[in-house]
């Protein structure tokens, strides 16, 4: 160690960087439910293969934009109209 410098941590150099990379990869995993599909756009264009899901998949948040689409049927009552 150089004189006048204090040791900040007992961890080896680069230890935080490795954990940051591993953590960022874990945060890029998405889970889509049975009734949903994920449409992924990479730099504004649809990825080949279309919508993904259901299940677990990986995407790049710095390059990809993900929209989750609900495929459940929504029904509601329509009141009768007068003639």
Q: Is residue 25 part of a domain?
A: no
Does residue 42 lie within any of the structural domains?
Answer: yes
Would 59 be classed as within a structural domain?
Answer: yes
**pLDDT band, very low/low/confident/very high, at 10 (cuts 50, 70, 90):** low
Total number of domains in the chain: 1
Residue 21 has pLDDT above 80, yes or no: no
On whether residue 48 sits in a domain, the answer given is yes
C-alpha–C-alpha distance, residues 75 and 35, integer Å: 16
| Mean per-residue pLDDT, 21-45 | 85
Secondary structure percentages of the chain, helix, strand, coil, to 5? 15, 30, 55
- Is 63 inside any structural domain? yes
Does the residue 22 lie in any domain? no
Q: pTM, whole model, 2 decimals?
A: 0.59
Q: Which domain holds residue 38?
A: 30-70
């Amino acid at each position: 160690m150089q004189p006048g410098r204090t040791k900040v941590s007992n961890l080896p150099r680069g230890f935080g960087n490795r954990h940051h990379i591993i953590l960022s990869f874990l945060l890029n995993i998405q889970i889509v439910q049975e009734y949903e599909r994920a449409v992924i756009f990479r730099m504004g264009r649809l990825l080949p293969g279309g919508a993904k899901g259901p299940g677990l998949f990986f995407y790049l948040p710095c390059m990809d934009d993900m929209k989750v689409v609900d495929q459940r049927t929504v029904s509601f009552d329509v009141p009768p109209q007068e003639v």
